[in-house]
Amino acid sequence: MTNTGSNIERILDTGGFVVTSECGPPRGADAGVVRKKGELLRGVVDAVNVTDNQTSVVRMSSLSACVILKEMGFDPILQMVCRDRNRIALQSDLLGAAALGINNVLCLSGDHQKFGDHPQAKNVFDIDSIQLIQAVRRMRDEGKFIGGEEIKGKPVLFIGAAANPFADPFEIRAPRLGKKVKAGCEFIQTQCIYNLERFERWMAMVRDRGLHEKCAILAGVTPFKSVGMAKYMKNQVPGMDVPDEMIERMKGVPKEKQTEEGIKICVETIQRLREIPGVRGIHIMAIEWEDRVSEIAKAAGLLPRPQLP
Amino acid sequence: MIVANRKPLEEILEMIRPYKKILLLGCNECVTVCAAGGQREVGVLASELRLSRAKDGNEIEIREHTLERQCDYEYIDQIRPFVGDYEIVLSMACGAGVQYVAETCRSKLVVPAVDTTFLGVTMEQGVWSERCQGCGNCILDKTGGICPIARCAKSLLNGPCGGSSGGKCEIDKEVDCGWQLIIDRLQELGQMDRYEEIIPVKDWTTARDGGPRKRMREDLRL
């Protein structure tokens, strides 16, 4: 036990089931937007991810939005991508985050800048997500920077990463998680799960390797707002696996009922995920749809959340 | 080889707009193989420039000359007797060649007619593809002979990322996922155990990040 102060770690330590969601910072300097999104998640989640210039679009920095949410009483998860910062800047921000009372970090490679609003930018990728996990772990547990120098005042952070069981090649997806665990990852949030059959196969491979015992798997879900969104996720988002029967199910209801159908599918998915051995929590990614997270969590039987002292 | 692309005619015309006497300099090495700046391309570009300038009633004199290499003094020396007769040198060599001609012929303006792109191979007639970024610290022994620095869009040393789909990279369905290629190769070689080793953070001092690079072999120096 590391005692990072993280709600995720505290709930996992007592054998509990974790619920997280995410808050995408605004494309401007208005702290009110973050607070408004935060209010919608109050009492619904144990910790909240704050994305780091997701899809390579410039937004308020993850660390700033984390601090705003922290002031509101949340336990934020600082997402960090390797696309925009080298090892000097990443380690500096890790120290800053810990100094500001952030308890969790999610280590990611980051989307390529081609998808964002500055495709002409130079990318960094000095280190990758697995090396970032290793770096945070070493900073926290050994008090050493990547360069080997000693840290005065270790950053105490609970260390997470992402896993995409739906990307290719499938056969290395569990070994890849194994590398993240070996690097020091303590919790995983997965890509949005629509293909439960494939997710179950991946979880079986994860259990075969005993990875679920060393690292908590939080299963990711995203509700469809419409059949259009479902099709977009299927055809346009790399590494996303939306089975045809889900598109058909969305198509099968009248347009004005599609939103409710999307939420219904999401709730049913959560209920199935909870039954899978080794799944320790749910990560609800309702992109720019934070007002429905509470409803989804309630319908899926995830409320009330445990009161932590 | 170093792979380059001929610049668009309009861009070249703009660079040489004020000049009437031009030395158009090809290179017989890489840019010849990748059909960007060899003798043949020198001929084609010279014709295009002459035609275009004649059409505007602004005739131009071009001397076409192709050197064995533009990255060696001894070959550049061959243009010394006549370079003074021209107002500008338009080089069709890679960026190294253009700069070396400029360093040698200090009184002349030397401008590029090609964009230098990458270190690569010929895939088929008319198709070239990147293989190396010259990072100065080769790890091909660890990755099945396929370079993650050059062939993964994020240069991940422990890939693939979550954007690898059907063997292709998230940035473009036409681009192979470098890590899919590495894994396929490791499987062919029976070396999949290598995949599970974490490759540590890279020392970039041997790459561009360490500053301009220079190599010296004392035993070969005169």
Instruction: Indicate if the pLDDT at residue A1 is higher than 60.
Output: no
Tell me, what DSSP letter sits at residue A42?
T
Helix (H), strand (E) at residue B65: strand B61-67
Burial of A46 (0-12, 13-18, 19+ CB in 10 A): buried
Q: What is the mean pLDDT of residues B167-190?
A: 96
For residues B72-100, one letter each, b for 16 or more C-beta atoms within 10 angstroms of the residue's C-beta and e for the rest, the string is eeebbeebeeebeebebbbbbbbeebbbb
Quote the CA–CA distance of B180 and B91 in Å, as a whole number.
39
**Taking CB atoms and an 8 Å limit, are A239 and B158 in contact across chains?**
no
| 3-class state of residue A246 by DSSP | helix
For an interface test with B, the pick among A106, A125, A146, A241 (most B C-beta atoms closer than 10 Å) comes out as: A125
- pLDDT band at residue A3, thresholds of 50, 70 and 90? confident
SS3 A18: strand
Of A252, A265, A273, A275, nearest in space to A299 by CA: A265
CB < 8 Å to A178, chain B: 196
pLDDT (mean) for A15-41: 97
Residue A238 banded pLDDT, cuts 50, 70, 90: confident
Mean pLDDT value across residues B1-8: 98
In this predicted complex, what is the ipTM?
A: 0.94
CA end-to-end distance (rounded Å), chain A: 18
Task: Report the gap between the CA of A184 and the closest CA in chain B (Å).
Answer: 12
Of the partner residues B154, B157, B160, the one whose CB lies closest to the CB of residue A112? B154
What are the phi and psi torsion angles at B150 (to 5°)? Answer: -85, -30
A183 DSSP β-pair partners: none
CB distance B170–A125 less than 8 Å? Answer: no
pLDDT of residue A2: 59
Percent share of chain B, pLDDT over 70: 100
What's the average model confidence in pLDDT over A84-113?
98
Strands annotated E in chain A: 18-23, 47-50, 76-81, 104-108, 158-163, 187-192, 216-221, 279-284
Min distance B196 CA to chain A CA atoms (Å): 6
Q: What's the average model confidence in pLDDT over A222-245?
A: 94
Residues of B in contact with A168 (CB under 8 A): 160, 164-167, 177, 180
pLDDT at A25 over 60: yes
Pairing of strands A279-284, A216-221: parallel
Chain B nearest-CA distance from A191, in A, is: 8
- Per-residue pLDDT, A239: 85
Closest residue on chain A to B154 (Cα):
A125
A214 CB neighbour count, 10 Å cutoff: 14
Cα(B92)–Cα(B66) distance, integer angstroms: 9
List CB contacts (< 8 A) between B196 and chain A. Answer: 175, 178-179, 182
> What's B2-118's CATH class?
alpha beta
Partner residue opposite B171 with nearest CB, options A83, A114, A239: A114
The whole-number pLDDT of residue A136 equals 98
What lies within 8 Å, CB to CB, of A38 at 6+ separation is A23, A48, A68, A69, A72, A74
What residues does each domain of chain B span? 2-118, 133-209
pLDDT surpassing 90 at residue A288: no
Give the nearest partner residue to B167 out of A131, A163, A168, using CB atoms: A168
Nearest chain A residue (CA) to B179:
A169
pLDDT of A155 over the 60 cut: yes
The one-letter amino acid code at B157 reads L
Q: Tell me the pLDDT band of A309, cut-offs 50, 70 and 90.
A: confident
Q: Which residue, among A73, A99, A91, A96, has the nearest Cα to A7 in the 3D structure? A: A73
Interface touch B201/A112, C-beta < 8 Å: no
For residue A112, CA distances in Å to A55, A229, A232, A245 come to: 8, 22, 19, 30
The yes-or-no verdict on residue B72 having pLDDT over 70 is yes
Contact A179 B198 (CB under 8 A): yes
CATH of domain A7-299: 3.20.20.220
Q: Cα distance from A112 to chain B (closest Cα, Å)?
A: 7
Say what the pLDDT of residue A237 is: 87
- pLDDT score of B37: 98
Is the predicted pLDDT of residue B38 greater than 90, yes or no? yes
Residue ranges of the domains in chain A? 7-299
Q: What percent of chain A has pLDDT over 70?
A: 99
